[in-house]
Each structure stands twice: as structure tokens, then as C-alpha cells.
Structure 1
Amino acid sequence: MPIGISDEHTELAASVRKWAESQGSIAAIRAAETDSEALAPWGALAAELGLSAIALPESAGGGGGTLLDQAVAIEAAGYALVPGPLLTTAVAGLMYDDAELRAGIADGSITVGLGTSALAVVEAGRATHLSVPVAAGHVAVPVDQAEVRPGASVDLSRGVGEVVLGDVPNTDLPTYPKSGAPLELIVLAAAEASGIARWCLDTAVEYAKVREQFGQKIGAFQAVKHLCAEMLEISESVTAAAWDAAEAAEHGEEQALFAAGVAATICFDGAVEVAKSCIQVLGGIGFTYEHDAHFYLRRAIALRALVGDTGEAAAALSACARTGVRRSGEIDFGGLDEQFRADARAEAQRIAGLADDDRRAALAANGYLAPHWPAPYGLGAGPVQQLVIDQELQSADVERPDLVIGAWAAPTILEGGTDEQRERFIGPTLTGEITWCQLFSEPGAGSDLASLRMKAERTDGGWLLTGQKVWNSIAERADWGVCLARTDADAKPHAGISYFVVDMKSAGIDIRPLRELTGEALFNEVFFDNVFVPDDCVVGEINKGWRLAVTTLANERVAMAGSKLGDSVELAITLLDETRSPAAPEKVGRAIALAQVVKLLGTRSTLRSIAGQGPGAESSVAKLVGVRSRQDSAELAMELLGPEMFTRSERALAANDLFLRNRCLSIAGGTTQILRNVAGERILGLPRA
């Protein structure tokens, strides 16, 4: 999904891409190989459309838009590989609070070449003005007041040159008082990186759908499918980080710097990786000059060089986090929350005044425990109302109890069960009278649930279940379990499966603890020997249980992530003050950035729900990226502990436990490899093997 979420941003991005294609952006880049003037008109072309001045004040002739508006346009231009000084001119307009410079950018009479080093100023040879670093920050100089020495750029869509200023001749020149890569450059360059990554992903996927080898489409090969899925993970991460960097500009300097640090750490390396993978998927054709892919790889590598060392950006991000700065998850509801706010606040405060033992019953009675469930058990609440209730409960310091497996079992009964089953199970699940476990996985049917073997045989008044289930958390104390069993052995794998609710105190059930690598027994094996399940405990139709197993209510739960980055990342941040490793700040910064991206993917998915859009790729990608973040950060915390890892200090024990426990994350709920197959097929549309 692109940066823009709103309809207005979607339309803006589409119009920019359509314009670039109509002007022949790629054709102009190719023509520049033999015609040095082929790219010269592009500064004026972008200005004519107002692209360079979208976020400049209306008083200067600009569009009066936000930094996010400008980022949406730059991303679309990056997708179309618009050549020339669009990016650098738009950045300069935002950097320099100078009315004359901004007015010139808005009317197209001024274009700006820009560099973070005087040795490599992008578009120095064609721009009217040059933004160059000096001792006190940056300065914008008319090109006739500097010497430009032409350079050679790997990026064929933009020129580069060395700028020699000597003594700055005019003290009235526009100045930018901060050294290093300007925040405005990081934000808009990140947006361009998102466009590059997205084009590379789309191009690779479309090729994988049609290119045939060994008698089938190459997208059906697991190696290619996984590579494309990994490209999806990276490109969605790049987009989320770029979006937040632009969005954070409205929330103060601390928030803006933190978000820009995440973008600098994630976006430029990410764009390079996706561009390289695109050429890998394309194979030999991707290595030819005739294909456009190399132009995007060239732009990506040059863009990363322009903004500077991403390792330094990661280290700066860790330094920022050490001071306590975190990205807050504020939501602009656009007034949609007003109809729910007063009632939610009053009810949350009422519940807060109750004794702790009475709060759960009150939350269940008023529908606030699971507001997305239909009445009378919930409120049938949409995304906005759910989030408002979350906010008000949090403000009132009211914590919802965790339904654990009940949060999955109950919605399935609500969807496919009978009225009697709903009355029997849903209310007691909410009040805590019933605890659930899940009886799906088997020794030979983990991610491949369709191959399950537990059989259910018809008997008088019900069914007899025989077989083995495994990886069942809290089965030893659960009252009921949701169970899949095969009721038709001759049916196709996904057919012939029925969905049961099983009384865990039934005769014939043997629950055995299963000790894991943590040393604890969090899971169980459960053996069934002719366990009787009455007909009134079959959910839905016989042989139609697979649909219930893979679907939930359409009105799904939405939530906003908090500001915390996760236990392992937060521990790693505290250890920075004690470690002597010079590599630690960069490693921790990269862990912070990845953890923040996971939160951003969830936030963007929630905002799409608020906007009434279907779920995007973010929710699926968040699981894959989240697993990597949690596992890698747990390992990093162990590394930073050093010899303390061998002690029984509180944090050493916690770090050891997180490291070992998190190994299951890439297995539970579908292995990472299976989920990449699913992402490749269901999100990217790649063919099945």
C-alpha cells in the first residue's frame, strides 16, 4: 500500500504518476545518454504542475499543504522515476524560510540543487540555486556565485557536481542553521525511497506471474515466492516509516526527529534491497540495459548516499531513545469520535469507581469488554467507537481482562453457532466462568491443518473423538476446548472437517504436559480415546468446520499500539549506558527502528479501518516483521548483557527467558515460511505450485 491512506492522497498520487507517464519520464532518462539536454526541462515541468511547492505557504504562491501531502507526491514521482530537481527543490523550499526563494520555487523560476556534502550536490549543473553545507549549517547560493565542477553519478536520472564556494559572498543568503542531513531531506527522500521500492516490488511480482520455467510460472516456485514476500515485507516497512516521518512533523520536534531517525534507518537500505531483489527475480532480463530496473537500483543507491550513513542514523536514534523519547500514537478522528466520547468517558469512569473484583462483570454487562462483538454481548462497535472506548478505559486506568483463547473461540460461536450455544458459552466466557483452549494442531498437522487425522465417528446422540492434539496452551486448566476433527475420511482435505466444542473434563481425555526449550511446560499434548461430544456441541454444519477455522467476524477488533517498543528493545536501550561495544548504538538503533515499524504497520491498518477501507497488506506483514523484531531484539539484549547473562540477576533471567521463549514465534500460528507462501499467493497474487 502507498503512503497515502485518504481518498485525497490516493487521487494525488494517481495524478502525479499519470502525469509523469504522459511526459515520458523513463524515455527522457534514456535519451539523456546521448542528449545532455534531455533532462533540462523537468524542473520547469514539475513546477508547472505545482509539485515542488505543495507544502509551501499560500502566501509564497505554494499549495499550503502539509509535509505529508508533499511526501505523497514525491513517493508517486519516485515510482515513476521523475528525473531532475523535483526532490531537491521541494526539500530546499521547506528548509529555507525565505520568501523570495519560496516564491521562485512556486512560480518555477528557481530550482535547487542540494547536497549534504559540497563534493556531491545533486542537480548542481542544471539548477538555478545550490543548497550547500557550510560550517554553520547550510546555505542556498545562486549558481552564478559558485563554481560547479561536473561529477559522475550512478543515478542516470539526476546530475551531480562538486560545488566550490570559497568565501560566502553574500550574508543575506538564505541559511539553514543545522548541520548534517536536514530533516526535510530525510522525510521526502524516504518518501521517494518508498516509491522506488513499490515499483520494484510490483515489477518483480508481475514478471513472476507470467515468466515460465520448467513448465510453470516462476512465481509458483517457493524460492521466488519467498523472495517476493520478503520484498513485500521490506517495501511495506519502508512505506510505513516514510509515512510516519511526514506525519510526525505535526507533533513537535522530538516526535519529528524520532520518526525521521526511524525512516533514515529503515527506508534507504530497504529501497536498495528491494531494487536488488527485483533484478534477481527478473533474472537475465533484469541485468540488461533495456529493462528499466537498473534505473531504479541506481536511484536507490544514489539516494542512500545523498542522505548519509544509515548506521549513523541508527546510532542517533538510539541516543534519542535513551533520553526517553518514544513515538506517541495519536489519532485524528476528524470529529468522528464526538458521538461516542461523552458516553464512553462517563461509563469508563463509572467502572473505575467499582471494586476491582466487580469490574469484569461490569465490562461484560455493558459490552465494553469486547465492544466489536454483536449485541447483546458487545456493542457491534465499528473502528472509531472501539478506539474511543479503548482510550477512555485507559485514561480511567481500567484494564480489560485477557480472554486468551476465548477471544477466538467466542467469535466463532457467535458467527456459526446456534442461539442456545451463544447463550450457553458467550456470557460465561466474558465473565471468566469459562476458560478455553484450542485443539487444532496435531503431530502431523501443524501449519497444514487440512491434513489433520483426529477422527470423529457418529454415535447415538453425538460423536466419538479419537486422536491426538499438541501445542495446546492452558489445556490443563481449561473448561472447554475448540476442536477440529475429521468427520468424513473420504472427502478432500479441506472438506470433511467439523468444528466441535469439547468439555475438557470428559471421560477419555488425557492431558500431558509438554516441556519446551525454556525448561517450562507451557503447552500440552491432549489424547482423545472415544471422547463423547454431544450433537449440541457441534458448531455449524457437519463437514463445514474448515470455514469456521479460518474466518472470524467481519467486524474485527482494532486497537492502537502504545508507545512502548517491546520488552527486549527497552532492555537493550537501558543496557546502552553499560556496554563498551562501539557497535552497540547502531545495533540498538536498528532494533528500535524495526520495533517502531511493527507498531506503524498496525497503526496504518487501524487508520484504514477508520477510513472504511478493507484491510491492507500491513496487517499480514506486521506478523512477519514483528516476529523478526522480537526474536532479533531478544538476541541483542543477550549480547549486550555480556557476562551478566550467566548470573541470576532479574534482567538476565528476563532476557534469557525472552530469547528462548521467542523462538516459538516463527513457528506458532503458521511458520514464517508458510506465512510467506500465504503472503505471496493471497496478497501478491502469485500462483500456487
Structure 2
Amino acid sequence: MPLSLTEEHADLAAAVSDFADRFADVLQTRELFEAYGAGGRPAHWGELVDNGLHALHISEERGGQGGTVADTAIVVEEFGRRLVPGPYVSTVLASAAVAAAAECKASTHGLDVFAEGATGALAMPAATLTALATSTGWIMNGRTAVASLLSAEQLVVGFTDGTHTRFALIEAERAGVAKVSASCTDLTRDAGTLVMESVVIGADDILAGLGLGHVETLQAGLLAAEASGIMRWAVEVSTDYAKIREQFGKPIGSFQAVKHKCANLLIAAELATAAAWSALVALDQDADQQALAAGSAREAAIAQAVDAVTEAVTILGGIGYTWEHDAHLYLRRAMTLAAQVAPARAGIASVGRVALELDRRIDIELPDEDPAFRQRIAGLLDQAAAMKNEHDGGRWNSRGTQRTFLAENGLAAPHWPAPYGLAASPGEQVIISQEYARRNLIQPSSVIGEWAMPTVLAFGSEEIKEKFALPTLRGELIWCQLFSEPGAGSDLAGLSTRANKVEGGWELKGQKVWTSGAHEADWGICLARTDADVPKHKGLSYFLMDMRSTGVDIRPLKQSTGDAEFNEVFLDSVFVPDAYLLGEPGQGWRITATTLQNERTQISSGVSAGAEESLRELIREQGYCATEEEAFTELARIVALSSAIGALNLRETLRQVNGLQPGVGSSLAKVAHARLSREAATRVLQLAGQGALFAQAPGDAVTGMLGVPQVLIGGGTVEIQLNVIAERILGLPRG
């Protein structure tokens, strides 16, 4: 999915794509490589200005459209996908920096000329640029490489005078300023070396109130938006090609290896989009949040674009390596994006130091909030906060406890229908989640019950609903899921447990495996075959099974970590009454789909996948000092990807809040999280060094690594999930 999270942004993206069709088609771009390399305004610049695309983020008072940087990012992303040539990104980067200073009421000069259509470029502070303070300003000397410098009419130049980092807006023709041209890697843009010889910078040139962190976040967000567009192109072109290119009499997209390449490209592109969005949101947050968001955008988006286009070429084969194909043009552009943030990426350890104590956080704002609803929820949670929870032998004591109060007032599972929940919309769930957080209350979870109960509410009788719903919410009943079998893991439809009709019910025989918590469960949701003479997915039925029934034999499975969370469950003529068959015989596959899809909308201001906690613990335990660059660098990179995954999940919530159709983010995030868990555990193990000789290694290094296979296999292996993404989301043919 693109950056768009609203219908307005989707309409804007469509209009930008139409603009590219009419004025910046790639075939026309190919004929003008030499002109673009020489700098200046491209032929389509006048139309671009007439359409106001250059000034979406500039206030109406200063001659712009009165929008936000997020609006401009929609254009940047689409221009990246369509390889629109010229200095658009460098111009909006420069003008957005000036606009940020203007919003601080410290400087308003320069916006008028940008609103009128002037081109610009941004020169970030560099060690090769020096500024000597004088009584009236500064004298600048030095040189630095700048993207789209030859086209720029206005320059935003960053410099450090020994104590402060400042930004100044100057005309490109100012005395002492020179542009040294060179062939740009990106054939659709120019680049050059900015040379400054005793350039006078006055106080009026300074963009007061504009800090380095804000500019770095702005740069990271907009360049990541362009990287997102480039990666979307890589997904589209490689997937389309894989559907039609045949080898050995079959489309190459039917081969699992190609499927996985395409699915991995989609995952990378979605993470890039999420990271870009997170950086744009951070522009209105504090310096620490900006540092975390900018680091994520650089690592999860900008740095990944080169690899994404390269991977697309491996799918395209030899044709993708030719001059005539557009792949090398996109690769060249991706390379120049990475080059522009290279200095910041070199200092990534500084982001790790921030990440040691902080998570990336984004607070969701609701445009159409009902104050009365929030007030009612706040009152109920105030009452709950004054109560206690009590355990009785590991189970909840339901008499007068906080959990009982929450369950009976619809706040344990507010997304469930009344009377057990509040039938809360995504927006209302946001409010409830925020009110829980304000009181440091944790919303109760019934774990497997959260999957089982929505299915019971959808297909069970009124008696069954009353029997199970509230006791489950109160924590009185624990559930397990009896799906997987020794011969039917990812291939769930291939299970062999039989359910034969007997008087008054069904007799179940078979074996289940990898059943989490079966040794503690009161009830289980069980899938069994009731008809062996029909296609395998049509002969299944869905049962609710009392785990204390005669014939149920539960045997714990000791894992490699030494724990025994999983179990084998043997069913030896277990009787299940007719009342506990959900739906009709043979409907089990359809009902199971409801169970697997019934995950609570996870809404939180925390934007993190949580894989970094062991690494944080290791750094704290080992006492790494601020000079331990390796440890903080590894933490920063893990946090960058973790934050991108969290942002991807949060974007899915926002789509629902905004009334849009659910995207594919949650499916992709599962794969990304599994891989990140493996990567994080590997890094912890490496950093633990000789400490890993001992079972109680710092940072949980040993048990963390031993637990990785569970993450990679549980709920369907990563490889199976990649097949599902390739076939059901990208539409690649089955093998």
C-alpha cells in the first residue's frame, strides 16, 4: 500500500500519477538525460508549479496551498514510483526547511520565492564546510556534494560554528558561491560540488529556530517516501514479469523461489512506507522521537531501496540488466538517496543511545471523537483502577475483582458485540486503549479465548454463548487450540483426527500436537474430520471440547529451551455432545477461517515490535559505556526495523479508523517480526561473547537463541507465509 491513509491522499496520488503520464513519461525522460544532468528547470516545471505541487506544504499566507509535509510526501512517493525527473525532491526539502523555521516565527523570508516556483537544494552540515563567526555574522568556506545543486536557485546550507549548528538560506548566485558540475549517478537529475569561498552569511540569512534534528528528520522522511515509491515500482515490475515470463513451460512466478523473492520485496516496500510515514509524523514530536524515526527511515527505507531494485533485476533476469530497461535508472536513483544520508548512517550509534531508554511512540488523534463516549469509558476505568485483581491457584478469583468489573462492563473485549463487549469501532477502540494507558491499566487478555470466543459468538447457540463468553472474559476459563497434528501443520486441511457420529454427539479419535497451554486449559477448540469422502477441506467440523473429558491424554513436550509450553494431546474416543459442534458438519474450514482472522485490533501509541528488549538488557548488564559503538549500532539497527514493523501495524489501525478497507500490513508484519526476532537473537548472542558459555548468559542470549525456531515455525512457517503472500496478495500462480 502507498503512503496514503485517507481518501484525500489517495486522490492526490492519482492526480500526481496522471501528471506524470502527461508531462514526465519515462520514454520522454530517456531522451533528455543530457539536459537533466546540466541542471536548470525541467520542461514540466511550469506545469508542476501551475498545479501547485511544489507548494502543498507552504502556508496560504506565503503563497502556497496550506497543506502539510505529509501532503508533499504523497507527491514525492508517486514521483519516485514514476521516475519523474528534475529537482522536485531537493526543492521541497529546502522549502520545507524554510517553512519549518517560519512556523517558529523566527524567519519568514524565502517562502515567497519558493511559492512562486523557485528551485532549491539542501546542503547538510559537513566537516568540509567551516564557518568563522564575526561581529555581523559568519564567513563560510569549504566544499560539499549536493544533490540537484546545478538546478538550484536557492540554497539551504547547514553549518557548525563550533558551538551551534545553524541553517541559512542564500541565493545560489551569491558572491563566493560556486557550483562545480559532475556527472550525476542519477541520469534524471543533476548533482554538483558546492564551493564556498569567503561567503558572507548575515543574521538575516539564518533560519532561526530550525534545528539539526528537525532537518535530518525532514530529509529522512521525504527521501524515504521516494525510496518507498522506488520499491513499489520494484514490486510491481518484478511481479508483473513473473506472471508472464515462462520457463520449463510454466510462469516463473509459480516457482517457490521466485514467489519468495516477490513476497520479500513486498514486505520490504511496506516497511519502507511505514518508516517514511513514521518520520513524517515525528516532525511534530520531540527531538528524541525524531531521532528514532529518522533512524528507522534511513535504515528500513532509504538503505533498503538499492537492494530492492537489485533483487527485482534478479527476477527480471538478463533483460533487467540492459540499458533499455528502466531498472538501472531506478537503481541509480536509489543509490543517490543512500548517498545523501550516508553521513547520518555512519553515526547510527547515537540513535542506539536514545533507543536504550526510549521506544518510538505515536499518539493517534481522532478527528471525529465523541467526548461523551470517552467520558463514559474514563469513568468506568476510574472505578476499575480502584479495584484489585486476585489469583486463586493461578486462576482469577472472579468475586469483586477488577477483571470481573471490566468483563461485565464490556471493557475486557470491547470489540466483541454486546452484551459481552461494546461492539466498539476502531476509533472507539483507540479511545479505550488510550484511557487504559492513562491509568497504567493493562487490558485483560484471554489469549486463545480471544480467538475462540468470537467464533462461538458467531456460530454458537445462545446457551453456548452464555456458558462460555463471560467466564472466559473474567479469566475463569482457559482455552487451547487443537488444530495442528503430526502430519498436518501448515497444511491444516490435511488433518486426520476423526469425529464419528454417535448417539447424542460425536466420538473423536486422533492426535494433536504443539498445543500451547493444553495442560492448563479447561476447554479446547478442536478441528476434526467428519467426512472422508469429500475434498479434504470440505470434510472438517469444528468442536468445543472439555479438556477434562474421559479419553483426553495430555503429554507435555519439553522444548529445546527446557520449558514445556507445548503438548501432545491424544484423543481416545472422546465424547463431545451435539451442542458443542459449532455450525453444521462440514463447515469447519469456514469457521476456522473466522477463528484465525479474529485477532483484536491492536492499538497502542507504542510503535515497536518488541524484538529489541534482550539487546537493551544485554547492554545494561554488560555495562557498555558510551564509546561501545558496536553495541549501540546493533541496537539502533534492530530498533529501526522494529519501529518500522510497529508503524506498519499502526497504519493498519489508522486505515480502519479512517474507514478504508484493511490493507495487507498485518500479514506482512508477521513475517517481518519473525525474521527480526531471529536477527535480534543472533546479535545478542554475538555481543554476549564468552558469556554465552553459560546458560544464564547476559541478555538472555542463550535461551533467546534457542527460542528462535518457535517464532519461525509457529503459526505456519515463514516459507509457507511467503507463499500465501505471493499467491493471495500479489496474485502469483500456484506451483
Query: Shared topology, TM-score over 0.5?
Result: yes
Q: Which runs of 5+ in 1 are unaligned?
A: none
| In structure 2, C-alpha distance between the alignment counterparts of 1:596 and 1:572, rounded to whole Å | 19
Task: Identify the residue that residue 724 of structure 2 maps to in structure 1.
Answer: 678
Q: Which residue identity does 2:348 align to in structure 1?
A: A
Retained in 2: the 8 A contact 1:77–1:192?
Answer: yes
> 1:175 offset after TM fit, Å?
3.9
**Pair 1:256–1:606, CA change in 2 (3 A):** same
Q: What secondary structure sits across from 2:548 in the alignment?
A: coil
Asked whether 1:453 is paired with 2:496, we answer yes
Retained in 2: the 8 A contact 1:229–1:680?
Answer: yes
| In structure 2, C-alpha distance between the alignment counterparts of 1:156 and 1:173, rounded to whole Å | 36
Retained in 2: the 8 A contact 1:415–1:552?
Answer: no
Q: What secondary structure sits across from 1:464 in the alignment?
A: strand
Retained in 1: the 8 A contact 2:121–2:154?
Answer: yes
For residues 415-461 of structure 1, the C-alpha deviation after alignment (integer angstroms, 9 at most, x for no partner) is 12222221222222222232111111011111111111111222222
| In structure 1, C-alpha distance between the alignment counterparts of 2:260 and 2:250, rounded to whole Å | 17
For residues 359-416 of structure 1, the C-alpha deviation after alignment (integer angstroms, 9 at most, x for no partner) is 1221121111111111121111111222222222332343333212111111111112
**Pair 1:161–1:395, CA change in 2 (3 A):** closer
Retained in 2: the 8 A contact 1:383–1:557?
Answer: no
Q: Which of 554-563 and 504-513 deviates more? A: 554-563
Q: What secondary structure sits across from 2:537 in the alignment?
A: coil
Superposed, which structure 2 residues align to 1:389-404 within 5 Å? 389-404=432-447
For residues 596-624 of structure 1, the C-alpha deviation after alignment (integer angstroms, 9 at most, x for no partner) is 11211111111111111221121111111
| In structure 2, C-alpha distance between the alignment counterparts of 1:333 and 1:645, rounded to whole Å | 47
TM-score (norm 1): 0.94
Retained in 2: the 8 A contact 1:119–1:162?
Answer: yes
Q: What secondary structure sits across from 2:707 in the alignment?
A: helix
| In structure 2, C-alpha distance between the alignment counterparts of 1:61 and 1:205, rounded to whole Å | 42
Superposed, which structure 2 residues align to 1:112-511 within 5 Å? 112-116=120-124, 118-136=143-161, 137-145=166-174, 146-169=177-200, 171=202, 174-175=205-206, 182-309=216-343, 311-322=345-356, 324-357=357-390, 358-511=401-554
Q: What secondary structure sits across from 1:482 in the alignment?
A: strand
Retained in 2: the 8 A contact 1:29–1:156?
Answer: no
Retained in 1: the 8 A contact 2:508–2:528?
Answer: yes
Q: Which of 523-532 and 331-340 deviates more? A: 331-340
Q: What secondary structure sits across from 1:3 in the alignment?
A: coil
> 1:215 offset after TM fit, Å?
1.9
Q: What secondary structure sits across from 1:499 in the alignment?
A: strand
Q: Which of 571-580 and 256-265 deviates more? A: 571-580
Q: What secondary structure sits across from 2:194 in the alignment?
A: strand
Retained in 2: the 8 A contact 1:60–1:106?
Answer: yes
Q: What secondary structure sits across from 1:166 in the alignment?
A: strand
> 1:82 offset after TM fit, Å?
1.6
Task: Identify the residue that residue 22 of structure 2 maps to in structure 1.
Answer: 22
> 1:48 offset after TM fit, Å?
2.6
| In structure 2, C-alpha distance between the alignment counterparts of 1:142 and 1:16, rounded to whole Å | 29
| In structure 1, C-alpha distance between the alignment counterparts of 2:77 and 2:330, rounded to whole Å | 13
| In structure 2, C-alpha distance between the alignment counterparts of 1:447 and 1:344, rounded to whole Å | 41
Q: Which of 441-450 and 631-640 deviates more? A: 631-640
Q: What secondary structure sits across from 1:342 in the alignment?
A: helix
TM-score (norm 2): 0.88
Task: Identify the residue that residue 656 of structure 1 maps to in structure 2.
Answer: 702
Task: Identify the residue that residue 111 of structure 1 maps to in structure 2.
Answer: 119
> 1:255 offset after TM fit, Å?
2.2
Retained in 2: the 8 A contact 1:85–1:111?
Answer: yes
> 1:664 offset after TM fit, Å?
0.5
Retained in 1: the 8 A contact 2:119–2:154?
Answer: yes
C-alpha RMSD of matched pairs (Å): 2.4
For residues 602-660 of structure 1, the C-alpha deviation after alignment (integer angstroms, 9 at most, x for no partner) is 111111111112211211111111112222223322333333344576x7373433332
Q: Which residue identity does 2:554 align to in structure 1?
A: I
**Pair 1:399–1:561, CA change in 2 (3 A):** closer
Q: Which of 625-634 and 667-676 deviates more? A: 625-634
Q: Which residue identity does 1:303 align to in structure 2?
A: L
Q: Which of 214-223 and 640-649 deviates more? A: 640-649
Q: Which residue identity does 1:658 align to in structure 2?
A: G
Retained in 2: the 8 A contact 1:455–1:465?
Answer: yes
**Pair 1:586–1:267, CA change in 2 (3 A):** same
Retained in 2: the 8 A contact 1:435–1:479?
Answer: yes
Retained in 1: the 8 A contact 2:452–2:595?
Answer: no
> 1:34 offset after TM fit, Å?
5.6
Match of 1:51 among 40, 50, 53: 53
Task: Identify the residue that residue 79 of structure 1 maps to in structure 2.
Answer: 81
Q: What secondary structure sits across from 1:301 in the alignment?
A: helix
Retained in 2: the 8 A contact 1:572–1:588?
Answer: no
Task: Identify the residue that residue 621 of structure 1 maps to in structure 2.
Answer: 668
> 1:74 offset after TM fit, Å?
1.3
> 1:354 offset after TM fit, Å?
2.6
> 1:470 offset after TM fit, Å?
0.3
| In structure 2, C-alpha distance between the alignment counterparts of 1:581 and 1:327, rounded to whole Å | 22
> 1:313 offset after TM fit, Å?
4.9
**Pair 1:202–1:675, CA change in 2 (3 A):** same
> 1:308 offset after TM fit, Å?
1.6
Q: Which residue identity does 2:483 align to in structure 1?
A: F
Retained in 2: the 8 A contact 1:57–1:63?
Answer: yes
Q: What secondary structure sits across from 1:219 in the alignment?
A: helix
Q: Which residue identity does 2:234 align to in structure 1?
A: C
> 1:172 offset after TM fit, Å?
5.9
Superposed, which structure 2 residues align to 1:475-554 within 5 Å? 475-552=518-595
Retained in 1: the 8 A contact 2:684–2:699?
Answer: no
For residues 158-197 of structure 1, the C-alpha deviation after alignment (integer angstroms, 9 at most, x for no partner) is 0111222211045367345766974322221111111111
| In structure 2, C-alpha distance between the alignment counterparts of 1:391 and 1:528, rounded to whole Å | 44
Q: Which residue identity does 1:160 align to in structure 2?
A: A
| In structure 1, C-alpha distance between the alignment counterparts of 2:622 and 2:638, rounded to whole Å | 13
| In structure 2, C-alpha distance between the alignment counterparts of 1:188 and 1:576, rounded to whole Å | 37
Match of 2:110 among 98, 101, 120: 101
For residues 63-101 of structure 1, the C-alpha deviation after alignment (integer angstroms, 9 at most, x for no partner) is 222221221221122112121111111111122345442
Retained in 2: the 8 A contact 1:318–1:573?
Answer: no
Q: Which of 562-571 and 394-403 deviates more? A: 562-571
